[in-house]
Copies of this chain bind each other. A is one copy, B any other.
């Protein structure tokens, strides 16, 4: 047996072994060079980008790290597969053989991948920043943390929403630009619309002066937006600094109530006209009530 073993060792094709070793070395060197070049390309890309406009440092750092890691793991993977192939390990066969498992894993993992890809674009496109009040995936809140896989929102109610980025299809950002404050008030059909409008106009002008620091576009009386069942509905709108719209709406309502009280303008209760039928009706006599 020993002889056979020795024969085996002797039969090794040393030239082939040597050649293989050189190839492995070359692949490793090449992989190293490509990684360096890739890193440099990423750096240059971010430097150029920086010149175009102000970039949030922390976000740029996240993206830079991400791109470099992605590049590195891709190069590692290809180098490893190529080297294993040199040694005759059929990596692709193994991976193909792992197809049944792979299919399940692939489908199962797609959510993970989608989360990360979406997260990458959320960061890159600056759709929102920490501190913004946004609506996404059906919930609203202040952004507490932006990650590659999940975003954390703090609800007005105090709840913490943890949303995988892949669930975020469309984002509504309430902190970019002025927000609208909208108040609708109903007055009785009997009121004189011109007088009501004049009173509301006064309230609006006073409010614009008093809240000049948070109102961007003074409250305007738009006019009659609906013939309600018991009232004529008048709409007032203003544009305010973000997150101040609810305060402005409450303040406007308080001032309108005050002005209407002062001016004897009524915000009407629901009304109904009742037609009473009493005595001598044909039908009820018949039914013997």
Residue of B nearest to A276 (CB): B274
Taking CB atoms, residues of chain B closer than 8 Å to A135 are: 159
Judging by beta carbons under 8 Å apart, are A94 and B117 in contact?
no
Judging by beta carbons under 8 Å apart, are A160 and B178 in contact?
no
Judging by beta carbons under 8 Å apart, are B250 and A222 in contact?
yes
A-B contact pairs, 5 of them (CB 8 A): A78-B94, A106-B107, A155-B172, A266-B287, A274-B275
Interface segment out of the listed A43-51, A198-206, A278-286:
A278-286
Taken together as a complex, chains A and B put the C-alpha atoms of A172 and B137 apart, in Å, by 12
Interface segment out of the listed A33-41, A57-65, A253-261:
A253-261
Taken together as a complex, chains A and B put the C-alpha atoms of A10 and B224 apart, in Å, by 93
Name A45-104 residues within 8 Å CB distance of B: 77-78, 81-82, 85, 89-104
A23 to chain B, nearest CB (A): 10
Taking CB atoms, residues of chain B closer than 8 Å to A130 are: none
Q: How many copies does the complex hold?
A: 7
A280 to chain B, nearest CB (A): 8
Taken together as a complex, chains A and B put the C-alpha atoms of A154 and B289 apart, in Å, by 46
Taken together as a complex, chains A and B put the C-alpha atoms of A108 and B270 apart, in Å, by 55
Beyond A102-B106, A223-B254, A282-B288, 7 additional contacts (C-beta under 8 Å) are: A95-B99, A107-B107, A160-B174, A162-B171, A223-B247, A230-B269, A266-B283
A126 to chain B, nearest CB (A): 10
Taken together as a complex, chains A and B put the C-alpha atoms of A78 and B103 apart, in Å, by 17
Which chain A residues have a beta carbon within 8 Å of chain B's beta carbons? 1, 4-5, 7-8, 11, 14-15, 18-19, 22, 77-78, 81-82, 85, 89-114, 116-118, 121, 125, 127, 135, 137, 139, 149-150, 154-164, 166-167, 169-174, 176-180, 182, 185-186, 188-190, 193, 222-227, 229-230, 232, 239, 242, 245, 247, 249-251, 253-254, 257-258, 264, 266-278, 281-284, 286-289
Taking CB atoms, residues of chain B closer than 8 Å to A284 are: 275, 277
Judging by beta carbons under 8 Å apart, are A169 and B167 in contact?
yes
Judging by beta carbons under 8 Å apart, are B15 and A8 in contact?
yes
Judging by beta carbons under 8 Å apart, are A89 and B82 in contact?
yes
Judging by beta carbons under 8 Å apart, are B170 and A239 in contact?
no
Taken together as a complex, chains A and B put the C-alpha atoms of A36 and B108 apart, in Å, by 28
Judging by beta carbons under 8 Å apart, are A95 and B105 in contact?
no
Residue of B nearest to A225 (CB): B250
Judging by beta carbons under 8 Å apart, are B102 and A99 in contact?
yes
Judging by beta carbons under 8 Å apart, are B99 and A99 in contact?
yes
Contact (A158, B186) CB under 8 Å given A114-B111, A268-B273, A277-B273: no
Which of A77, A89, A110, A250 neighbours the largest number of chain B CB atoms within 10 Å of its CB? A110
Taken together as a complex, chains A and B put the C-alpha atoms of A102 and B98 apart, in Å, by 10
Judging by beta carbons under 8 Å apart, are B100 and A82 in contact?
no
A223 to chain B, nearest CB (A): 4
